[in-house]
Amino acid sequence: MARAYNFSAGPAVLPLEVLKDAQADLVDYKGCGMSVMEMSHRGKDYDAIHQEAIATFKELCGLGDDWAVCFIQGGASLQFGMIPMNFLGAGMTADYVNSGTWGNKAIKEAKKVAALRNANVNIVADCQKDIPTRQPTEFNWSENAAYAHLCTNETISGAELKTIPDVKVPLIGDMSSDILSCERDYGKFSMFYAGAQKNLGPSGMAVVAIRKDFAEKGPESLPTMLQYRTFVNDNSLYNTPPTWGIYVFGETMKWVKKMGKENLFKLNAEKAGRIYDVIDSSDFWTGTAVKEFRSNMNVTWRIKNGDEALEKKFIEEAKAAGLSSLKGHRSVGGIRASIYNAFPMEGIDALVSFMKDFEAKNG
């Protein structure tokens, strides 16, 4: 059976090379006589997988020994609540950027914690409802915030923050949909995190990079599994971690390293550019994000300014042609092509060709 070109926002496409290696290792990992899913997380075979995965990721992000990499189940959504639980104490203020759906979800969770602790959530920028969609350009930072939080790429709106702002307080970034897809100065952050299911591996966990001294700021009165220090001090092995997900994450990181970051970043820009070129070629298509903030990971657009019947036809015919999951998020409609690191150029060319043919028949 031929593989479809998978434009899903997540769980998303994985490198075919990684999938084939995982398939080969599934029943018997490197002659161990068992699957990674069966072996003890305390044993030497799994320990080597765990340590290499962390080391490769830290190398790719340029992180030193003062950083820890944690594997936390619950995805990025758990992080929305876990962050304020650890760092937003009584009487404190946390700065949040509301750049879209995911920025807003993080704010809602932070406000719940703030209400319990007599703390404050300060919205430093708000462009969630702006059409065309965008990322903010001006921020009203607090003087002494406990931390500042932003989302670097809004998956639903297709708007990406191209430059990380300079912030005087600890900066936390939700990078779920664009981590390791473009040049970033990770040193600007005290913590950044990503749900694994887009650029890092299979669904089921978040990868959290955090400065060790920042992790220690969380109260020890929190339940053990909600403290970042637990994951830091025990190297994400306090309890049984998602071993298979970590194995695939490690293999994906080795694939990124093999590709070469600079080559991958350039390829990502080229892939997105080919689709945007078609969108900009006529009035038949309408991009939904401001050009200067267009995402290279999530390309979003409409047909004839929102002709839903024609968009439905496009999505159905595209699926029949092997172009899967192009329907926009249910909250906004339209069309969305999620083209993460592992998405092949051949799939881009197939989509571009289909778009041109569809316009010729329906324009």
Domains of the chain: 17-258 (3.40.640.10), 261-362 (3.90.1150.10)
Question: What separation in angstroms does the CA of 181 have from each of 24, 67, 261, 268, 339?
Answer: 27, 21, 8, 7, 10
Find the mean pLDDT for residues 48-74: 98
Write the pLDDT tens digit of every residue in 182-218: 999 999 999 999 999 999 999 999 999 999 999 999 9
Does residue 235 carry a pLDDT above 80?
Answer: yes
Residues ≥6 apart with Cβ < 8 Å to 115? none
Write the pLDDT tens digit of every residue in 96-150: 999 999 999 999 999 999 999 999 999 999 999 999 999 999 999 999 999 999 9
Q: How far apart, in whole angstroms, are the C-alpha atoms of residue 134 and residue 151?
A: 12
Judge residue 9's burial from the number of C-beta atoms within 10 Å of its C-beta, 0-12 exposed, 13-18 middle, 19 or more buried: buried
Q: Is the pTM of this model over 0.75?
A: yes
In the residue annotation, 357 being an active-site residue is answered as no
Question: What separation in angstroms does the CA of 357 have from each of 176, 276, 297, 317, 352?
Answer: 33, 16, 24, 11, 9
Judge residue 359's burial from the number of C-beta atoms within 10 Å of its C-beta, 0-12 exposed, 13-18 middle, 19 or more buried: middle
In the residue annotation, 174 being an active-site residue is answered as yes
Does residue 67 carry a pLDDT above 70?
Answer: yes
Among the listed residues 58, 67, 95, 174, the single catalytic one is 174
Among the listed residues 102, 244, 255, 285, the single catalytic one is 102
Write the pLDDT tens digit of every residue in 287-333: 999 999 999 999 999 998 889 999 999 999 999 999 999 999 988 98
Find the mean pLDDT for residues 254-260: 98
Find the mean pLDDT for residues 33-62: 96
Among the listed residues 58, 95, 178, 198, the single catalytic one is 198
For the chain, how far is it from start to end, CA to CA, in angstroms? 33
Residue type, 356: K
Q: How far apart, in whole angstroms, are the C-alpha atoms of residue 51 and residue 46?
A: 9
What is the share, in percent, of the chain residues with pLDDT greater than 70?
A: 100
Write the pLDDT tens digit of every residue in 345-355: 999 999 999 99
At 1 the pLDDT is 56
